């Protein structure tokens, strides 16, 4: 180093160049620096690349997981559906009017959860748990994820308890057990929702928690269902989860999963739950919509390849739990719509293969005034017969056989063919069976009343009763048995076996009642036809 450098004056420090007041302030800050706490945080955000029709593309945020919730402007949340290197595809759970390209998107580190607990009973909510009935937010015990694995095999128990729908044709020939998945399938406006609503109304005294899920339905249709439930006192034990057709497709998609989580909460506590999915056709269409918007590869009928999985992972959660797992049950009544009775279409075929049977509604029967328009020949229950009450099971066999024979023989009468006497008797009896199976909406019947009426027609006691008088005959028989044989009626309601003595007493009482009111027709040998 040179002598000039060693003798050069020292450079003034920064503090010496400051004015006195500023220097004092800087010295004070330096003394307090060790006590300061760093309050900032690092936040990873993304940018909206494109948005529209209920989906959004976001620049990929490091660490984002599939199914995670992202927060958009306007407090709109979105579910991560696609994870690519550069762009993350999100399905929005709210309206996208307040979201524009270039807006910042933040991670939440959470997944979709829904409130659960007794505070939801009697309420109408959307799939996120927000009230739709004008009340305060529902009281929740906790929040649980809408997606969870189905119960393991060892946590399940056999389906051996009936779930009475109150509908004669179903409880007798297509019975539903608690923990079963029974599909309701039919064309538009053939009474699919009516059957499900009647099943809910019939649980009034059965200590069953009911959940109605409106999936992509018209607002007016959903309002009609809720009004019917309220009018018959069924809303007091029902949770309604509603995503209308006007809601974003993301809300429609998560609606059945959110409702299933609510039902599972009661199921694990040992309660019996009935859940109605109305309907899964709209659910599949909502999933197809968001999948195509996210540019997923389309498959058959433009549905994505995993359309079977989204329904199977939902319906497999319906079960009868073993005692060690809680002992409750979750019974599912999914609804699917067909076109021109085509049950071989993609979505109906998938759901038929997933469920434990189907209740098929025939449009021709409906338009001819036979309601509920259940097509017995194309309907089946693969489980419920094991859970059927003994008294009903003894009637169900002859009833189904007689009705099936009638449907085959009735074809001959349409062409004016002459038939022998034995065939004519079977046809006339079948017509009375079909007339008995007619049932007004919102009038589910208790088990003893069903057994009494169906026993009368299978034993031929109503063969001489005019078809127009069948409803009056039903009323007379039900009243006669409830007043004359109350112990027998109570025994049937309790699920006890109908002994030969009780059966004989029932038949004698019903024969006396019918002879007393319709004796003239029988005496004259009249067998009125349609």
Cβ pair 349, 185 in contact under 8 A: no
Quote the tokens at residue 9. Answer: 């004056």
* Cα–Cα distance measured from residue 363 to residue 192, given in angstroms and rounded to the nearest whole number: 11
Cα–Cα distance, 100 to 51 (Å, whole number)? 7
Task: With beta carbons less than 8 A apart as the criterion, state whether 84 and 60 touch.
Answer: yes
Query: Hey, which residues does 288 pair with through a beta bridge?
Result: none
- As a whole number of angstroms, the distance between CA 133 and CA 229 comes to 14
Strand partners, 359: 184
For residue 30, give the nearest of 41, 15, 10 by alpha carbon.
15
The three-state (H, E, C) secondary structure of 193-255, written as one string: HHHHHHHHHCCCCCCEEEEEEEECCCHHHHHHHHHHHHHCCHHHHEEEEEECCCCCHHHHHHH
User: Cβ distance 234 to 240 under 8 Å?
Assistant: no
Q: How far is CA 168 from CA 111, 159, 194, in A?
A: 44, 21, 14
CB-side exposure of 501: number of CA atoms within 13 Å? 4
Separation between Cα atoms, residue 11 and residue 15, nearest integer Å: 12
Q: Is residue 382 annotated as a catalytic residue, yes or no?
A: yes
Q: Determine the distance from the C-alpha atom of residue 196 to the mean position of all C-alpha atoms in its chain, rounded to a whole number.
A: 9
C-alpha to C-alpha distance for 132 and 129, rounded to whole angstroms = 9
What the block records as the tokens of 121 is 């009973």
Residue 496 has a CB neighbour count (10 Å cut-off) of: 14
Q: Name which of 272, 264, 208 is nearest 236 in CA terms.
A: 208
Backbone angles phi and psi of 32, in degrees to 5: -90, -5
Element (H, E) at 334: strand 329-338
Distances (CA, A) of 421 to 424, 428, 457, 459, 527: 5, 11, 18, 17, 12
CB atoms within 10 A of CB 334: 29
Q: Which of 268, 313, 382, 393 is catalytic?
A: 382
Q: Which residues are catalytic?
A: 382
């Amino acid at each position: 180093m040179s002598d000039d450098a060693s003798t050069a004056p020292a450079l003034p420090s920064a503090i010496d160049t400051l004015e006195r007041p500023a220097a004092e302030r800087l010295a004070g800050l330096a003394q307090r620096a060790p006590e300061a706490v760093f309050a900032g945080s690092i936040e990873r955000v993304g940018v909206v690349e494109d948005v529209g029709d209920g989906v959004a593309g976001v620049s990929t945020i490091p660490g984002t997981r599939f199914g995670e919730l992202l927060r958009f402007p306007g407090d709109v949340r979105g579910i991560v559906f696609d994870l690519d290197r550069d762009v993350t595809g999100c399905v929005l759970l709210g309206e996208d009017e307040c979201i524009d390209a270039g807006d910042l998107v933040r991670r939440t580190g959470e997944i979709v959860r829904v409130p659960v607990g007794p505070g939801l009973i009697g309420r109408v909510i959307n799939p996120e748990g927000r009230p739709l009935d004008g009340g305060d937010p529902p009281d929740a015990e906790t929040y649980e994820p809408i997606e969870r694995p189905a119960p393991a095999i060892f946590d399940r128990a056999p389906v051996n308890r009936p779930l009475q729908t109150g509908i004669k044709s179903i409880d007798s020939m297509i019975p539903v057990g608690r923990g079963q998945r029974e599909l309701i399938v039919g064309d538009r406006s053939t009474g699919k929702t009516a059957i499900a609503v009647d099943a809910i109304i019939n649980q009034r005294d059965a200590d069953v928690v009911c959940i109605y899920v409106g999936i992509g339905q018209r607002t007016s249709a959903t309002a009609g269902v809720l009004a019917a439930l309220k009018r018959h006192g069924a809303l007091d034990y029902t949770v309604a989860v509603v995503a209308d057709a006007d809601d974003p497709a993301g809300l429609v998609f998560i609606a059945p999963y959110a409702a299933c989580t609510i039902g599972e909460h009661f199921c694990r506590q040992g309660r019996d739950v009935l859940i109605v999915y109305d309907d899964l056709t709209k659910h599949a269409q909502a999933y197809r919509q968001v999948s195509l918007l996210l540019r997923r590869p389309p498959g058959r009928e433009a549905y994505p390849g995993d359309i079977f999985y989204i329904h199977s992972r939902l319906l497999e959660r319906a079960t009868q739990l073993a005692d060690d797992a809680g002992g409750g049950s979750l019974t599912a009544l999914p609804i699917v719509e067909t076109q021109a009775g085509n049950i071989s279409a993609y979505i109906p075929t998938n759901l038929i293969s997933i469920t434990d049977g189907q209740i098929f509604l025939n449009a021709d029967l409906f338009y001819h005034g036979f309601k509920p328009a259940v097509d017995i020949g194309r309907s089946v229950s693969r489980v419920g017969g094991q859970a059927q009450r003994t008294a009903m099971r003894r009637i169900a066999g002859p009833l189904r056989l007689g009705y099936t024979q009638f449907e085959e023989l009735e074809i001959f009468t349409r062409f004016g063919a002459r038939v022998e006497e034995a065939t004519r008797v079977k046809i006339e009896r079948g017509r009375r069976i079909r007339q008995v199976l007619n049932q007004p909406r919102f009038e589910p019947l208790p088990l003893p009343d069903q057994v009494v009426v169906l026993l009368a027609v299978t034993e031929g006691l109503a063969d001489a009763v005019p078809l127009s008088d069948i409803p009056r005959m039903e009323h007379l028989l039900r009243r006669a048995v409830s007043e004359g044989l109350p112990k027998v009626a109570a025994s049937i309601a309790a699920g006890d076996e109908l002994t030969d003595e009780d059966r004989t007493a029932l038949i004698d009482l019903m024969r006396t009642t019918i002879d007393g009111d319709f004796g003239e027709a029988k005496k004259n040998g009249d067998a009125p036809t349609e």
